Structure 1
């Protein structure tokens, strides 16, 4: 299979109405960037290209034109079993992540077994000036370090970030909302001491209060900590 044939395969799953819908969800990209592939179809696509020599060629042929190519790219990265190879592929692709939907799909399976080595990289990515590299780092932190591998200091870096980027601040709010559901005793201190900027502080409270995993009495307390902007 060639790159052109892979694109043709993607268009076999084209849904123009879904492309219109996707374009509205991701207003930072023009409509012509969307094919309109529904999420469940990627499993079929991955099956059809499994072990095909086009995969390494595709991963090295960036930037892609279509958003769905980027989504497929992320799903292929997620399946890389070797940790070093996975990190290399992800870091090569990070500069080309241009929207939240592609970014938030990053969740390599191999990272679960390499969290000790990964955390330094996560902190490096969060410290980046690039919007989606920073968001990607926080997404990986949220996915991997809020449960058994949690350490309180992992929240310091995202808490102290200041950004004018909506998609960075929204990710920070999401991260802290998740931390409030999973690591309440630690995370609530960041809210009590107003470690976040005002907008992100309030958004984190809002998102935590929208979660069914946060008890009502905690939601009531969080609402009392909102700040006026």
Structure 2
């Protein structure tokens, strides 16, 4: 396949060993040998060019990919899809092969805002998945698209109700509530005060938001007082 050869040549010519070692430390759950070491801005630029190619679908059809960077390219390419139904289809085909937090979080969900009601339905579906990073992605959709003008208080219970052992799922739950405490402080603080979250996620959400500058000193003091002993 011409596109596969072009991708391989691009990755080889842009490999940075120091950056590869840095990435391997940030993403410890994947095989370090699967990381080439190409900087994200270079991948994004290349992905834009790939998305315009007539044979782009040939690259997208090759799953699983062999490297972390190929997964990154895949996520950046499909994020450029403007047709909602096609975007959802590509996301759902790719999600089972996502194996790390970085690819999961860089799979943009912004295009889903074209049909918020349908996006919310897919998010609910993804939350029920057995796959760790599909659940993480679903929480990311709720965080990115439904914490401001589309906010609904009942969505908090969707995230509260996620009961999973995986670190990267619960870190996303904590991140979600840290964002909620900044963007919907009254409603989110009620959830924190209720004790509905497990202790680890509860404390991590408080930790993340009090380290930011987006909430008032008074709110920080209230939240610190809500920390629970492990």
Aligned partner of 1:160 in structure 2 is 161
Q: Alignment length, in residue pairs?
A: 229
Aligned partner of 1:81 in structure 2 is 82
C-alpha separation between the residues in 2 aligned to 1:148 and 1:47?
30
Q: Does the CA-based 8 Å contact 1:80-1:86 persist in structure 2?
A: yes
C-alpha separation between the residues in 2 aligned to 1:203 and 1:57?
42
Superposed CA RMSD in Å reads 1.2
Q: Does the CA-based 8 Å contact 1:134-1:168 persist in structure 2?
A: yes
C-alpha separation between the residues in 2 aligned to 1:120 and 1:211?
31
2:123 paired with 1:122:
yes
C-alpha separation between the residues in 2 aligned to 1:55 and 1:11?
19
C-alpha separation between the residues in 2 aligned to 1:137 and 1:34?
25
C-alpha separation between the residues in 2 aligned to 1:118 and 1:93?
17
- SS in structure 1 at match of 2:74: helix
How does 1:1-229 map onto structure 2 within 5 Å? 1-229=2-230
Q: Which consecutive unaligned segments of at least 5 residues does structure 2 have? A: none
Output one character per residue of 1:53-97: Cα deviation in whole Å (capped at 9) or x when no partner: 231111111000100111111111111010000000000011000
Shift of 1:208: 0.9
TM-score, structure 1 as length reference: 0.96
Deviates more, 1:209-218 or 1:175-184: 209-218
- SS in structure 2 at match of 1:152: coil
Deviates more, 1:52-61 or 1:20-29: 52-61
Shift of 1:50: 4.2
Superposition misfits of 4+ residues, deviation over 4 angstroms: none
Q: Does the CA-based 8 Å contact 2:51-2:77 persist in structure 1?
A: no
Shift of 1:4: 2.3
C-alpha separation between the residues in 1 aligned to 2:229 and 2:216?
24
Q: Does the CA-based 8 Å contact 2:51-2:80 persist in structure 1?
A: no
